Amino acid sequence: MFKSNVFERTDANGRIISNSRYNLVIGMVLCWGFLVNWLLVVCVDPEFLRSINFWLFIAGYFASCFYGVYLFNKSDKPHISFLGYNFVVVPFGLVVNMVVSVYDTEVVVEAIKITGGVTIVMMILGSIFPNIFKKAIIVLTIALLVVIIVELFQMFILGIHHNWIDWAVAAIFCGYIGYDWGRANQIPKTMDNAVDSAAALYMDIINLFLRILRILGRRR
C-alpha cells in the first residue's frame, strides 16, 4: 500500500539500456524479493513474530517500508535503490510469514498460481492499454484510500471484517499492476528505473497475493 513517484520520471539519470535487459532486471529484482520472502517463511518461526509486541512490530514495519520507499524514490543509483527495495521486502516477508502460516499448503500454492496468472494478464493489458490505466490511477488511488479507511474502522472500532473488502482490494491492486507495468515501460529504461519499477510492482503483487489467499482461505 506504499506508492512511489518512480513513474513520474522523464529524464534519464543514467545510461539507457535495451528493452530486453531492462525487463530482465525487473524480473530478476522481483524474483529476488520473492526468494527473500520464501526464505523468511521457511526460516523464521511465525510464533516468534507473533510474540513481538503488536505496536512495536507495526512501528518497525512502517518505518522500514517508508525508509525503503524513500531510498528508491530519491536515489538514481541502482545499488542504493536495491537497498531500499530490501527495506521493503523484509517487513513484507515477515507479514507474509505470519499470514501463510495459518493456511494449508494447498491453499497457499493455489493463491500463488492465481496471483501469478493474474499478474501476467494485467501486465499484458498494461502493455496494450497503458493510457487507460494511466487515466484510471486517480480512481484507483481514491478507491484504495477509501477501502483502507473502511477496513480499519471495521477492524478497530466495530471488530468485524466484511468479505467484500478483500475482493475490492484485490481488484484495485490488479489495476495497479497494469498501471505500474505500463508506466514502467514508458519511463527512461535505465538500471535504476528497472530496480525502482520492480519495487513498485513487488508491492502490488504481494498485496494482491495476500488478498487472494484470504479469499481462498475462507472458501476452504
Q: Which amino acid is at 161?
A: H
What pLDDT shows up at residue 54? 93
- What DSSP character marks residue 186? T
Decide if 8 is inside a domain. Answer: no
Judge whether 202 and 82 are in contact, CB under 8 Å.
no
Decide if 98 is inside a domain. Answer: yes
At 154 the three-state DSSP class reads helix
At 16 the three-state DSSP class reads strand
Total domains in the chain come to 1
Q: What is the CA angle 3-170-19, rounded to 5?
A: 55
Decide if 163 is inside a domain. Answer: yes
Q: Which domain holds residue 103?
A: 17-219
pTM exceeding 0.85: yes
At 12 the three-state DSSP class reads coil
Which pLDDT tens digits describe the chain residue by residue (220 residues)? 555 555 555 565 678 999 999 999 999 999 999 999 999 999 999 999 999 999 999 999 999 999 999 999 888 899 999 999 999 999 999 999 999 999 999 999 999 999 999 999 999 999 999 999 999 999 999 999 999 999 989 888 888 888 899 999 999 999 999 999 999 999 999 999 999 999 999 999 999 999 999 999 987 6
Sole residue written with cell 525487463: 23
At 190 the three-state DSSP class reads strand
Decide if 196 is inside a domain. Answer: yes
Decide if 48 is inside a domain. Answer: yes
At 192 the three-state DSSP class reads helix
| Torsion of Cα atoms, 41 then 42 then 46 then 48, to 10° | -120
What pLDDT shows up at residue 7? 54
What pLDDT shows up at residue 21? 96
Decide if 183 is inside a domain. Answer: yes
What pLDDT shows up at residue 112? 96
Sort 106 into a burial class: Cβ within 10 Å, 0-12 / 13-18 / 19+: exposed
Decide if 152 is inside a domain. Answer: yes
| Contacts (Cβ under 8 Å, ≥6 apart) of 130 | 182, 183, 185, 186
Decide if 9 is inside a domain. Answer: no
Judge whether 106 and 219 are in contact, CB under 8 Å.
no
